[in-house]
């Protein structure tokens, strides 16, 4: 049946999940959910609300996922109690996708790897970076723990349909430039509220030159521009990725050619340089050649943004045969157990250790000031994470500089913010 009105990719997914022929920006809809996600920080709050509301069952034990990734292995008694509460709930309702120490990874890397999300899915997660799955052509967005609780019980939630910004991506990335540099460049252009409650829809001939890891990274940080979600078209790369992992049926949606966008922004991949976001906002960006001598104390390479295998490969290629600067603490965190194993298989782990890095089990760890690399007063860190707010990684008078894996690795060697040729 032909839709009544032209729609963007996101609008088509929402219309289908609301069982409507079409939707338009501003519509309030009730949509069916394909997956509800929580972690060890947000799930306990949701569980409390679930029990307070008197819910007796989850809507589908195969469509609820809990990943113990933020403070695990447990860093303190409070973290241990939170994880225990999640384990108890998962056992009570026989949650099929419960990932704990030894099996877990950073949630937004683990779920795609396990094939739990796919094109056309409608996913909510009690974590703001749930928008990562838009790389697969899914609609995914972060929600509060109360919405997670209701979603676990009912299998649906309400949305206000967002309007969209179209990013027309052309060209090809230069060496040592990745999806992280692209999304930092975009956030620097439009600001942290530049896409507020809008869908960031990426399209254009340059999409084929972005790896799946690039796309995951870019969709992940859509929230840092205030977006409701980020989403990519489903192409041969996406299909290949899903074919190797996804076991449930999925649907590919495409934006109508005459879909209406709030605005269109042109992105030339070839013109983007390695980019760094200075404290204390992701929009405070400078290219690497604009970064003067800024000494640092720590480097973190990991997180749901840049803990994937290609990030590990880039870092290993730069660090091979080199030593981390004597004044630097370099921490490497592969995002999942599979990525960790691949790092061992390809020799990256040996390179990291020989260079003087600490290599961690998968965890969000230092990204949110949790553990595995907290900053003291006055310290500076170059991190491949996604946020650099005041006190994000420790003391309120510490500083976080966001960058891609190449800049992070070069900086670890130099002892200051550095890139290729610096």
DSSP string, 352-417: HHHHT-EE--S--GGGGT-SSSPBPTT-EEEESSS---TTTTB-TT-EEEE--HHHHHHHHHHTBS
Residues 318-348 have pLDDT tens digits of: 999 999 999 999 999 999 999 999 999 999 9
My answer on whether omega of the bond before 322 falls inside 30° of 0, hence cis, is no
Share of the chain above pLDDT 70, in %: 99
pLDDT at 320: 97
In this predicted model, what pLDDT tens digit does every residue of 58-117 receive, in sequence order? 999 999 999 999 998 989 999 999 999 999 999 999 999 999 999 989 999 999 999 999
Residue 72: what pLDDT? Answer: 87
Tokens of 401: 């500089």
Q: Which residues pair with 32 in a beta bridge?
A: 156
Predicted confidence (pLDDT) per residue in 44-66, tens digit: 999 999 999 999 999 999 999 99
Which residues have CB under 8 Å from 356's CB, separation 6+?
323, 324, 330
β partners of residue 263: 165
Tokens describing residue 336: 């999942």
Cβ atoms 107, 304 nearer than 8 A: yes
List, in order of start, the domains of the chain with CATH numbers.
9-267 (3.30.499.10), 275-414 (3.30.499.10)
- 219 φ/ψ angles, rounded to the nearest 5 degrees: -65, -40
Please count the other Cβ atoms lying within 10 Å of the Cβ belonging to residue 100: 17
Burial state string for 42-56 with b = 16 or more CB within 10 A and e = fewer than 16:
bbbbbbebbeeeeee
How many CA atoms lie less than 13 Å away from 322 in the CB half-sphere? 19
For 351-385, the pLDDT digits (tens) are 999 999 999 999 999 988 889 999 999 999 999 99
Give the neighbor-by-neighbor strand order of the sheet with 275-277: 285-287, 275-277, 399-402, 380-383, 298-301, 329-332, 358-359
Shortest CA distance to 150 belongs to which of 19, 59, 40, 20?
59
C-alpha dihedral sign at 408, 410, 412, 414: negative
Pairing of strands 28-32, 156-160: antiparallel
Spell out where 255-367 has E strands.
263-268, 275-277, 285-287, 298-301, 329-332, 358-359
Q: What is the mean pLDDT of residues 127-148?
A: 96
- Residue 338's closest CA among 115, 36, 80, 34? 115
- Judge whether 394 and 400 are in contact, CB under 8 Å: no
Round to whole Å and give the CA distance between 349 and 337: 13
**Confidence category of residue 4, pLDDT binned at 50, 70, 90:** low
Q: What is the 8-class DSSP label of residue 191?
A: -
Q: How far apart are CA 207 and CA 203, in angstroms?
A: 6
Distance CA 398, CA 408 (A): 17
Q: Is the pLDDT of residue 208 over 90?
A: yes
What is each CA distance from 207 to 55, 100, 136, 225, in whole angstroms?
A: 44, 35, 13, 20
Category of 391 on φ-ψ map: left (φ > 0), alpha (ψ -120 to 50) or beta: left
pLDDT, residue 200, reads: 98
Nearest alpha carbon to residue 368 among 352, 380, 383, 378: 383
pLDDT (0 to 100) of residue 1:
41
At 5 the pLDDT is 84
Contact 139, 231 (CB under 8 A): yes
pTM: 0.94
Share of the chain above pLDDT 90, in %: 95
């Amino acid at each position: 049946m032909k839709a009544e009105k032209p729609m963007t990719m996101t609008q088509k997914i929402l219309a289908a999940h609301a069982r409507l022929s079409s939707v338009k920006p501003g519509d309030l809809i009730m949509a069916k959910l394909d997956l509800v996600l929580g972690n060890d920080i947000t799930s306990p709050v949701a569980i409390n609300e679930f029990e307070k509301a008197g819910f007796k069952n989850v809507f589908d034990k195969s469509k609820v996922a809990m990943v113990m990734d933020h403070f695990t292995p447990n860093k303190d008694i409070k973290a241990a109690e939170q994880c225990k509460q999640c384990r108890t709930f998962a056992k009570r309702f026989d949650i099929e996708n419960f990932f704990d120490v030894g099996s877990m990874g950073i949630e937004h890397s683990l779920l795609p790897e396990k094939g739990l999300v796919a094109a056309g899915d409608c996913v909510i997660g009690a974590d703001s970076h749930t928008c990562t799955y838009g790389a697969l052509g899914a609609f995914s967005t972060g929600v509060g723990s109360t919405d997670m609780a209701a979603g676990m019980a009912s299998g649906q939630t309400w949305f206000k349909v967002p309007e969209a910004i179209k990013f027309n991506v052309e060209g090809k990335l230069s060496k040592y430039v990745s999806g992280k540099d692209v999304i930092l460049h975009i956030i620097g252009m439009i600001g942290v509220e530049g896409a507020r409650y809008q869908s960031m829809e990426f399209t254009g001939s340059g999409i084929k030159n972005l790896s799946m890891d690039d796309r995951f990274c870019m969709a992940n940080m859509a929230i840092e521009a205030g977006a409701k979600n980020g989403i990519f078209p489903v192409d041969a790369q996406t299909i290949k990725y899903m074919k190797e992992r996804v076991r449930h049926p999925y649907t590919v949606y495409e934006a109508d050619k005459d879909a209406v966008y709030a605005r269109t922004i042109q992105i030339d991949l070839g013109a983007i340089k390695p980019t760094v976001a200075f404290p204390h906002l992701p929009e405070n960006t400078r290219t690497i050649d604009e970064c003067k001598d800024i000494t640092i104390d720590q480097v973190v390479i990991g997180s749901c943004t840049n803990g994937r295998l290609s990030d590990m490969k880039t870092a290993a290629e730069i660090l091979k045969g080199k030593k981390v600067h004597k004044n630097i603490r370099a921490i490497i965190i592969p995002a999942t157990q599979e990525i960790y194993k691949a790092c061992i298989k390809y020799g990256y782990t040996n390179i990291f250790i020989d260079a003087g890095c600490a290599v961690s089990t998968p965890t969000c760890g230092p990204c949110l000031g949790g553990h595995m690399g907290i900053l003291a007063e006055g310290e500076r860190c170059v991190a491949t994470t996604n946020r650099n707010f005041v006190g994000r990684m420790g003391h309120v008078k510490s500083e976080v500089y966001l960058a891609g894996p190449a800049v992070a690795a070069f900086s670890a060697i130099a002892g200051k913010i550095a890139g290729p040729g610096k």
